[in-house]
Amino acid sequence: MVERKFQIIDKYDFNRTYHGIAISEQWQAWETAHFFRVRSIIENPTVGARLISYGCNNGDASSLNCTTTCPNATLMYNSPENLWNCMTLATLGMLVGPGNDTIDRKSEKKMDEQFHFGTVEKFNTLNTLRMATELLTVIMIFIGLREMVELLDMHSGDGGLSTWGFGQLVAVAIWFPVMIKFICLSIFGPGRGKAEGQYGEATGLGDD
């Protein structure tokens, strides 16, 4: 059993590259919030879960409110910082609520004073993680369908599959397994992987 804590950060440095090519910081922010938060928190229990100081902004930067922001898809996806905080709280809610971990109540109270989410157990009832998973699954399905259409068009053309380039192959290699993982998570929920001690495998999410 682990006692979870929080920490506040003002900025997260995004400096990943792809084969030496710099990746847009904004793209990395969305990517990290979507794919990397859950597993990072789970695999680093002694590190305080990071909340971005200006996340959960529902229109009034002077009054941040995660309880209002996170159940609303429009507000949650208004910025990567909003999504980051929502995914962080949702992960802790899953670990502490139905899970075996505990939360440092002093740390939680301090965060609640700034972000207004109540307790992580209360936040867990908002089902933020499931909503984000379902939305992302829909996106993955649309991307997959688009790639399938491209495949069929190329296969039926004069050049056949020989017209496929590196980009198409990379797209299929990347998006197909992601789609499968998120569809499974949407069907079975995060609790199944948690019960089996396989958070990372159930979510397919990466590092902080």
Provide the total of helices (H) and of strands (E) in the chain, helices listed first: 11, 6
189 belongs to a structural domain:
yes
Could you say which of 103, 126, 149 is where a domain stops?
Answer: 126
Same domain, 186 and 150: yes
Mean pLDDT of the chain: 77
For 19-23, what is the mean pLDDT?
76
42 belongs to a structural domain:
yes
The total domain count for the chain is: 2
pLDDT value at position 179?
58
183 belongs to a structural domain:
yes
Could you say which of 110, 126, 142 is where a domain stops?
Answer: 126
pLDDT tens per residue, range 112-159: 999 999 999 999 999 888 777 776 666 666 666 666 666 666 656 555
pLDDT value at position 69?
95
Q: Are strands 21-22 and 49-52 parallel, antiparallel or unpaired?
A: unpaired
Same domain, 197 and 119: no
- What residue type is assigned to position 202 of the chain? A
Same domain, 50 and 78: yes
CA distances to 73, 91, 169, 198 from 120, in Å: 19, 9, 41, 21
Proportion of the chain above pLDDT 70, given as a percent: 64
Neighbouring CB atoms inside 10 A of 184's CB total 17
Could you say which of 126, 160, 176 is where a domain stops?
Answer: 126
Q: How far apart are CA 61 and CA 101, in angstroms?
A: 32
**Comparison of pLDDT for 90 and 134, the residue scoring more:** 90
Q: How far apart are CA 174 and CA 149, in angstroms?
A: 17
Q: Which domain holds residue 171?
A: 130-203
Same domain, 37 and 119: yes
What the block records as the tokens of 118 is 């109540």
The yes-or-no verdict on residue 87 having pLDDT over 60 is: yes
Same domain, 111 and 159: no
CA distances to 3, 69, 188, 199 from 103, in Å: 5, 22, 26, 19
Same domain, 177 and 190: yes
137 belongs to a structural domain:
yes
Same domain, 87 and 54: yes
The yes-or-no verdict on residue 97 having pLDDT over 70 is: yes
Q: How far apart are CA 47 and CA 110, in angstroms?
A: 17
pLDDT value at position 15?
72
Same domain, 113 and 36: yes
The yes-or-no verdict on residue 191 having pLDDT over 80 is: no
Reference 7, options 106, 119, 123, 127; nearest CA is: 106
Same domain, 180 and 197: yes
pLDDT value at position 150?
65
Reference 121, options 139, 135, 102; nearest CA is: 102
What the block records as the tokens of 180 is 């499968």
208 belongs to a structural domain:
no
Q: How far apart are CA 162 and CA 94, in angstroms?
A: 47
**Comparison of pLDDT for 52 and 27, the residue scoring more:** 52
* Confidence grade of residue 169 (pLDDT, cut at 50, 70, 90): low
pLDDT value at position 106?
96
96 belongs to a structural domain:
yes
